[in-house]
């Protein structure tokens, strides 16, 4: 493992994950029915999209790890 690249990854990824977690906390505030009105359909669409994006991101990491570790294949 390249130490400089790993250091850069941990620095950038930690900041980005922190930002994502903060945004999720902010989104959770929108669940307050005293301030906002929404339907089950809207909530479903919102979380379907979030889940799809998270799955795509995770798959990208897993694919990069698998390709690097397995080497050549048909």
- Enter the pTM of the model: 0.81
Binning pLDDT at 50, 70 and 90, where does residue 2 land?
very high
Taking a C-beta distance cutoff of 8 angstroms, is the pair 36, 30 a contact? yes
- What digits encode the pLDDT tens for the residues 17-52? 999 999 999 999 999 999 999 999 999 999 999 999
Report the pLDDT value the prediction gives residue 66, as an integer from 0 to 100. Answer: 84
d(CA 13, CA 74): 32
Report the pLDDT value the prediction gives residue 1, as an integer from 0 to 100. Answer: 87
Nearest to 16 by CA among 48, 61, 74, 52: 61
Q: Give how far Cα 68 sits from Cα of 35, 65, 72, Å.
A: 49, 5, 9
């Amino acid at each position: 493992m390249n130490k400089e690249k790993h250091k850069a990854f941990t620095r950038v990824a930690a900041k980005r994950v922190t930002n994502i977690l903060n945004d999720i906390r902010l989104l959770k505030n929108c669940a307050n029915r005293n301030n906002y009105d929404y339907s089950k359909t809207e909530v479903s669409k919102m979380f379907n999209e979030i889940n799809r994006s998270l799955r795509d991101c995770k798959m990208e990491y897993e694919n990069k790890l698998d390709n690097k570790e397995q080497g050549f294949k048909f």
